[in-house]
């Protein structure tokens, strides 16, 4: 499909403007200078910056030059190399504080392994007070729109006597008119802690930073109703990746951050910024190397270090990673100019994508997306560079986020799906009750899995997020992907909504113009863009069919001895305990032992078995023994790998095969096979399945099947999507791309959706566990559990 959306570019005030000239003028030129990095020359569209941003090549280059040109010793020693490390680290601490517009007199920087470790440190050290006679217990309050790592602090606070109190965002606002009570309240010194995010990692909503002073002064709920001394923890991990944080304006007591969200490198390093006036209330129980001013091993005597950072940084910190932070700040300054530039640039991208996505409609006029946001992306002050949504089909049914994620991966578009470690926001926006969350768990859904729908209701959503190196081309590629894969044609746009968003939500200082839009059956075009000749489409829908119970023909049997490599066609073949004998019994892994698929290494498709010898064109043939006697592997390396998240035990097939594959693929790799005595069972055994449901190195099933009638319809639709209707693939070529074991000649496309079982010869294949693709229901099944999945192109 040649759909082309609005070309736009962020101006200096975060609005939308015409496409930039070849050499963008002004401050935004620095963003385009970054595009020379190899990281963005691979065709990858990276839209998961809220999880981890990308690092610039210059950061790593300068860092490597630094640590190879200098000797950095342990900072706890006093040698010249150790002194250099200590001095460099102090410089980094200062630069961190400078970045947040504060000084060492006001704040201290405690390095941790990340923001989660910083949160845990506060929870462990805060002076929680139990309820005593005549005194109230400490409150641990947190906004329900908080990260799991914040909510998890109650696991440490509650056993220490604190009372956990979740606060809804609207409750915090409703208390704005209240004030601190008089009387004896001033004498109460019970410590309370209130935690809230500067920016929601779920929706990108920015909470008012002024609420920090409001809680501290007891003007806001719940502080206005509870006497005591109130401290504020501002979770800034998501916020600081694209927004400037000024601690002079919002003097929070504790601020956790993670540096990889800011720079992309190094990972595993964060910090807790502690207001010096609040540092004295923190009490540590454990003391590690470097944290003591003095202690006795034979007596219970310990004096903590006077310096806040020294007191809380147990042992030797990751000093080489800390040195990299200095190069991160330098790269950020050189590439972007300021955090304000980053904020306006990324907000412009997010706003542009929100406006188009929320206005995009199916051919019947129904919206394509359900966007989860409190506002309408009016300003970068209230909204970050995060867009959270679910796609819906033309009938208004949610399309599961796992399907969107899988299809995006095929387009090399990287997004995030699920609940994003923010159950509170997920429940609020998706309307999931606590009772339903428990039912979802009973149904098998856990955090981080791919079970995206339970009883037709979503368990999570899709999130795209932008970083300072993101471009409008990234936005357009994502929008084209949505239109091509999930919109029933013709693509339409809700012009009334789009106009409202353009005029009502634009910042007052924004003077940017929007190109006009023209609608066609095939897509959306700029008014001055010539519409390509393309046959109109009525939609990429699947026809409902009912099995007639008649006879069908098995037209092809294929085995794939090496996972993700070429097929070997056979006319008859024995069945083994794990499916077709020898099917996907071997796989290729890279130098780190990670399975290589055609997604990562497309040339694997050229490795074709010939009578179970292996060779691509132009290469010598290599033979791999079939014998799986355990004694055969006594001298070979036993290793572990993963397939679809499952651990598998394998044995290495030797240096000859490894050398042959490494030469062909141009990278270090090994050939491994599943150990003969290792059993990997299906995750969910269906009712009526055979006793044996063990798997080889397949992803999820013993067999894959396709219907040639369905494939023929797909081939025709694929051809229609290209200009001039060019037929790029014949039916057999399309079949080969689905990598099926069994090819059935059905009578009508997609009639197999309604099959309950299949009998080939004397073997019965049972159908089980329906799932959805583009809103249509399909089934998985084996011999015992036979698997059908049309869009699983690489296995």
Question: Residue 258 CB: number of other CB atoms within 10 A?
Answer: 25
Over residues 578-633, the pLDDT tens digits come to: 888 889 999 998 876 778 888 778 899 888 877 656 666 567 777 877 765 545 44
Residue with tokens 């609207």: 170
Counted residue by residue, the chain has a size of 795
Instruction: Inform me whether the pLDDT recorded for 131 exceeds 60.
Output: yes
Beta strands in 120-264 (DSSP E): 139-143, 163-167, 191-197, 229-235, 254-258
- Alpha-carbon distance of 151 to 566, in angstroms, equals 49
- Between 794 and 556, the more confident residue is 556
pLDDT of 466 reads 98
- Find out whether 785 and 766 touch, Cβ atoms under 8 Å: yes
Q: Torsions phi, psi of 121, nearest 5?
A: -60, -45
Q: For position 11, what pLDDT does the model report? A: 35
Domain regions of the chain by residue span: 3-15+28-50+339-503, 70-334, 557-622+636-674, 705-791
Name beta bridge partners: 760: 763
162-166, 273-277, 788-792 — which is least confidently predicted?
788-792
Q: How far apart are CA 515 and CA 538, in angstroms?
A: 27
Evaluate the omega torsion of the peptide bond into residue 257 and state whether it is cis, within 30 degrees of 0. Answer: no
Whether cis (ω within 30° of 0) applies to the bond prior to 490 is yes
- Is residue 421 part of the annotated active site? The answer reads yes
- Encoded tokens for 737: 């791309």
Q: Is the pLDDT of residue 344 over 90?
A: yes
Domain 70-334 top-level CATH class? alpha beta
Q: Which two tokens stand for residue 649?
A: 């035990």
Q: Which residues pair with 166 in a beta bridge?
A: 142
How would you list the strands of the sheet with 622-623, edge to edge?
608-610, 613-615, 622-623
pLDDT tens sequence across 347-385: 999 999 999 999 999 999 999 999 999 999 999 999 999
Q: In this structure, which long-range contacts are made by residues 317-321, counting pairs with CB atoms below 8 Å and at least 24 apart in sequence? A: 317/75, 317/89, 317/111, 318/111, 318/113, 318/266, 318/268, 318/269, 319/72, 319/74, 319/75, 319/85, 319/89, 320/67, 320/72, 321/266, 321/268, 321/269
Active-site hit among 141, 224, 242, 421: 421
Nearest-10 Cα torsion for 234, 235, 240, 245: 0
* The pLDDT of residue 521: 28
Comparing CA positions, the residue from 266, 270, 274 lying closest to residue 311 is 274
Regarding predicted confidence, which is higher, 99 or 624?
99
Q: For residue 712, with 0-12 CB atoms within 10 Å meaning exposed, 13-18 middle and 19 or more buried, which class applies?
A: middle
Alpha carbon distances (Å) from 101 to 251, 269, 326, 343, 419: 11, 21, 16, 16, 33
1 with 411: CB under 8 angstroms?
Answer: no
- 21 contacts: CB under 8 Å, gap ≥ 6: none
For the stretch 167-180, pLDDT in tens is 999 998 655 444 55
Q: Per-residue b/e over 564-581, b at no fewer than 16 CB within 10 Å?
A: bbbbbeeeebeeeebbbe
Torsion angle of C-alpha atoms 683, 688, 692, 695, degrees rounded to 10: -40
What does the alpha-carbon distance between residue 701 and residue 151 come to, in Å, rounded to a whole number? Answer: 38
CA neighbor of 787 nearest in space, from 762, 749, 745, 758? 758
Beta partners for residue 639, in sequence order: 650
Higher pLDDT, 682 or 695: 695
Residue located via tokens 């996972």: 563
Q: Quote the CA–CA distance of 102 and 270 in Å, as a whole number.
A: 18
Which pLDDT score is estimated for 15? Answer: 36
Terminal alpha carbon distance of the chain: 26
List the one residue out of 459, 492, 398, 419 whose CA is nearest residue 774: 398
HSE of 782, CA atoms in CB hemisphere, 13 A: 28
Contacts of 606 (CB under 8 A, 6+ apart): 566, 616, 617
Whole-number pLDDT of residue 424: 96
Burial class (CB in 10 A: 0-12, 13-18, 19+), 137: middle
> Which of 502-516, 518-532, 557-571 has the lowest average pLDDT?
518-532
Question: Would you say 23 and 29 are in contact if contact means Cβ atoms under 8 Å apart?
Answer: yes
User: Which residue has tokens 């680290």?
Assistant: 89
Average per-residue pLDDT for the chain = 81
CA distances for 760 relative to 383, 435, 557, 711, 757, angstroms: 58, 44, 12, 20, 10
Own/partner pairs, 613-616, CB within 8 angstroms, 24+ separation: 614/561, 614/562, 614/565, 616/664
Q: Write the CB contacts of 238 (distance below 8 Å, at least 6 apart in sequence).
A: 50, 147, 197, 198, 199, 200, 201, 261, 384, 386
pLDDT of the residue at 134: 66
Whole-angstrom Cα distance, residue 431 to residue 232? 29
Contacts of 532 (CB under 8 A, 6+ apart): 2, 522, 723
Comparing C-alpha atoms, which of 174, 151, 157 is closest to residue 225? 174
Tokens (6 digits) for 485: 């894969």
Query: Torsion over CA of 696, 697, 702 and 707, rounded to 10 degrees?
Result: -150
* Position 45 confidence tier, pLDDT thresholds 50, 70, 90: very high
* Nearest in space to 205 (alpha carbons), one of 66, 367, 45, 381: 381
Is the peptide bond preceding residue 523 cis, with omega within 30 degrees of 0?
Answer: no
Number of H helices, E strands in the chain: 21, 41
Residue 71 has pLDDT above 80, yes or no: yes
At 381-429, the pLDDT tens digits run: 999 999 999 999 999 999 999 999 999 999 999 999 999 999 999 999 9
Which option is the CATH number for 3-15+28-50+339-503: 3.90.1150.10, 3.40.50.620, 3.30.70.60, 3.40.190.10?
Answer: 3.90.1150.10
Does residue 329 surpass a pLDDT of 80? yes
d(CA 751, CA 759): 16
Report yes or no: 745 and 708 within 8 Å, Cβ to Cβ: yes
Residue 550 predicted with pLDDT over 60: no
Q: Lowest-pLDDT range, 230-234, 264-268, 529-533, 572-576?
A: 529-533
Chain CA centroid to CA 385, Å:
15
- Per-residue pLDDT at 99 exceeds 80: yes
**Residue spans of alpha helices (H) in 505-561:** none
d(CA 206, CA 210): 11
Cα–Cα distance, 413 to 482 (Å, whole number): 11
Q: Say yes or no to pLDDT of 114 above 90.
A: yes
Would you state the torsion angle of the CA atoms of residues 54, 55, 58, 60, taken in this order, to the nearest 10 degrees? -140
∠ at Cα 48 (269, 41), nearest 5°?
Answer: 100
């Amino acid at each position: 499909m040649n759909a082309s959306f609005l070309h736009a570019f962020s101006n200096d005030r975060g609005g939308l403007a015409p496409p930039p000239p070849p050499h963008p003028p002004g401050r935004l030129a620095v963003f385009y200078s970054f595009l020379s990095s190899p990281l963005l020359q691979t065709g990858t569209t990276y839209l998961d910056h809220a999880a981890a941003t990308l690092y610039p090549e210059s950061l790593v280059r300068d860092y490597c030059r630094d640590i190879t040109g200098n000797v950095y010793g342990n900072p706890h020693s006093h040698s010249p190399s150790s002194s250099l490390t200590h001095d460099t680290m102090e410089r980094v601490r200062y630069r961190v504080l400078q970045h947040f517009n504060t000084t060492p007199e006001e704040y201290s920087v405690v390095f941790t392994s990340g923001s989660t470790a910083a949160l845990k440190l506060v929870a462990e050290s805060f002076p929680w007070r139990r309820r005593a006679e005549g005194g109230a217990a400490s409150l641990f309050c947190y906004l329900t729109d908080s990260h799991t790592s914040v909510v998890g602090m109650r696991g440490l606070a509650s056993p220490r006597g604190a009372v956990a109190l979740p606060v809804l965002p609207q409750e915090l606002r409703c208390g704005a008119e209240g004030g601190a009570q008089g009387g004896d309240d001033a004498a109460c010194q019970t410590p309370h802690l209130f935690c809230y995010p500067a920016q929601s990692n779920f929706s990108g909503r920015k909470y008012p930073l002024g609420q920090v002073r409001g809680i501290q002064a007891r003007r806001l709920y719940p502080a206005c109703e509870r006497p005591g001394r109130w401290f504020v923890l501002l979770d800034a991990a998501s916020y600081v990746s694209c927004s400037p944080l000024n601690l002079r304006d919002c003097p929070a007591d504790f601020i956790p951050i993670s540096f990889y969200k800011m720079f992309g490198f190094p990972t595993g390093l964060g910090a807790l910024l502690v207001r010096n006036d609040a540092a004295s209330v923190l009490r540590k129980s454990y003391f590690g190397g470097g944290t003591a001013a003095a202690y006795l091993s034979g007596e219970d005597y310990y004096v903590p270090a006077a310096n806040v950072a020294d007191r809380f940084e147990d042992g030797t910190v990751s000093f080489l990673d800390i040195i990299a932070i200095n190069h991160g700040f330098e790269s950020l300054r050189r590439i972007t100019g300021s955090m304000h530039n980053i904020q306006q640039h990324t907000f412009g991208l997010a706003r542009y994508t929100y406006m188009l996505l929320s206005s995009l409609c199916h051919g019947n006029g129904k919206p394509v997306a359900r966007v989860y946001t409190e506002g309408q992306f009016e300003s970068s002050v209230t909204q970050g560079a995060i867009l959270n949504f679910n796609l819906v089909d033309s009938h208004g049914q949610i399309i599961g986020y796992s399907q969107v994620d899988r299809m995006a991966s095929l387009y090399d578009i990287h997004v995030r799906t699920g609940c994003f470690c923010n159950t509170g926001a997920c429940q609020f926006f998706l309307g999931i009750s606590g009772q339903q969350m428990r039912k979802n768990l009973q149904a098998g859904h856990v955090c981080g899995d791919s079970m995206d729908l339970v009883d037709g209701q979503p368990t999570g959503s899709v999130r795209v997020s932008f970083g300072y190196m993101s471009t409008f081309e990234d936005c357009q590629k994502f929008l084209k992907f949505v239109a091509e894969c999930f919109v029933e044609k013709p693509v339409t746009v809700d012009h009334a909504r789009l106009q409202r968003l353009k005029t009502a939500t634009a910042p007052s200082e924004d003077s940017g113009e929007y190109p006009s839009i023209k609608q066609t059956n095939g897509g959306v075009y700029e008014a001055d863009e010539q519409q390509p000749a393309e046959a109109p489409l009525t939609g990429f829908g699947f026809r409902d069919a009912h099995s007639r119970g008649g006879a069908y023909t098995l037209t092809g049997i294929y085995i794939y001895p090496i996972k993700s490599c070429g097929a070997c066609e056979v006319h008859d073949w024995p069945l083994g305990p794990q499916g077709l004998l020898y099917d996907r019994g071997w796989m290729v892994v890279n130098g780190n032992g990670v399975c290589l698929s055609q997604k990562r290494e497309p040339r694997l498709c050229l490795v074709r078995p010939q009578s179970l010898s292996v060779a691509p064109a132009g290469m010598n043939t290599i033979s791999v023994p079939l014998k799986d006697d355990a004694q055969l592997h006594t001298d070979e390396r036993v290793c572990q790998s993963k397939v679809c998240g499952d651990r598998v035990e394998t044995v290495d097939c030797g240096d000859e095969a490894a050398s042959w594959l490494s030469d062909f693929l141009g990278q270090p790799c090994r050939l491994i096979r599943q150990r003969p005595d290792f059993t990997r069972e299906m995750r969910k055994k269906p009712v009526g399945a055979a006793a044996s449901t063990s798997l080889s190195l397949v992803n999820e099933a013993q067999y894959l099947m396709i219907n040639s009638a369905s494939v023929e319809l797909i081939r025709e639709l694929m051809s229609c999507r290209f200009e001039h209707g060019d037929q790029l693939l014949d039916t057999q070529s399309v079949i080969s791309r689905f990598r099926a074991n069994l090819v059935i000649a059905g009578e009508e496309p997609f009639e197999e959706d309604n099959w309950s079982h299949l009998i080939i010869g004397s073997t019965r294949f049972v159908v089980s566990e329906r799932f959805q693709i583009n809103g249509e229901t399909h089934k998985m099944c084996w011999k015992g559990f036979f698997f059908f999945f049309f869009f699983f192109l690489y296995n």
